Amino acid sequence: MKNIIIIGIPSKGRLKENSINFLEKDNLKLTSKGGDRNYFASFSSLPNVQIVYLHAREIIERLGDGTLDFGISGLDLLEESPKNLQKKIEKLKKLDFGVADLVVAVPDDWIDVQTVADLEEVSFYFRDKKNQRLRVATKYPNLTNKFFSTKGITQYKLISSLGATEVYPFTGSSEIITDITSTGDTLKANNLRILKDGSILKSSAYFLRSKKSRKYSNKNKIIKLFLNN
């Protein structure tokens, strides 16, 4: 749509609140904060701008196909998405919220495993002695594969997880995990420990743009409004 500028922001939790704070200015207030059934909002002083509340993963997808012009989502989700999707999205600004690390975590009682090199050794032990692959539960298969291959870990199998990844090692669904964590508390509470050199990605929220929107000059103007703060 040529005239309407559509901005996607996360529909839940602290990411949502922080995104609203980022967009709102003294003279620029949103008409709706997105209730249970209301997924849209706008600024009364900017009739051409429409806000849509979406799942953070969905925001990446919709920026990729150009149905959103701008959006706020996590760097982790952007980097995890397929390469051809990433190519269609421009990073405008790193934001100071949603800060979290994607890390490799092992059971705390594996005291012999402190580094990725230890893990690599144990993974071979699984193959040679147990004739199994070390299973790694994750919501981030692409980033995990990339990280492991640069660290020389090859003997593993990914188990895709949709949530509560931290319990997988203790329900027999996997041996270790990779997961996103901001304070590390959830991991600790679940008897998991982050490997010393096990940081895969330092993530935070980003203000993003669909490259498709670049050709419209009105959309270029509006963006300055949000970036100049």
Partner 1 sequence: MKSKNYSENIIKVFKKYGFALSEPDVLLDSNYIIQRSGENFKKLMLTFENDSGKKMCLRPDLTIAACVKYLEEKANKKSKIYYSGQAYRRSNSRKESIINNQAGIEIIGSKKKKQDDKEIISTILKSIEKTKIKNISVYIGDVSLFKQLIESLKMPERWRLRLIRHFWRPGYFEDLLNRLETNSDINPVAFDFDKKKFLEMKKINQKHEIAGRSISEILNRFDKKIRDPRSFVDGKNIAKIIREFLKISCPIYQMEEKLNNFFNKHNIKKKLIKNTLPIKSLLRSDYKIIFSTNFGRDIEYYTGLVFEIWALKNKQEIARGGRYDSLLKSLGSSQNIPAVGAAINLNNLHTAK
> By rule CB under 8 A, what string of x and - marks binding of each residue 76-115 to partner 1?
------------------------------xx-xxxx-x-
Separation between Cα atoms, residue 68 and residue 6, nearest integer Å: 5
Should residue 120 be labelled a site residue for partner 1 when binding is judged by CB under 8 A?
Answer: yes
195: tokens are 């490997």
Closest C-alpha to 224, from 68, 16, 46, 12: 46
Candidate segments 92-100, 153-161, 181-189, 213-221, binder of partner 1 by CB under 8 A: 153-161
Should residue 167 be labelled a site residue for partner 1 when binding is judged by CB under 8 A?
Answer: no
Are the beta carbons of 93 and 73 closer than 8 angstroms?
no
Should residue 126 be labelled a site residue for partner 1 when binding is judged by CB under 8 A?
Answer: yes
Q: How many residues does the chain have?
A: 229
Restricting to residues 177-196, name those near partner 1 by CB under 8 A: 196
Among positions 14, 25, 33, 157, the unique one binding partner 1 when judged by CB under 8 A: 157
Q: DSSP strand E in the chain: where?
A: 5-10, 40-43, 46-54, 70-74, 89-94, 100-107, 134-138, 156-160, 176-181, 192-203, 205-210
**Positions in the binding site for partner 1 (CB under 8 A):** 106-107, 109-112, 114, 117-118, 120-122, 124-126, 130, 132-133, 145, 148-152, 154-158, 169-170, 172, 174-176, 196
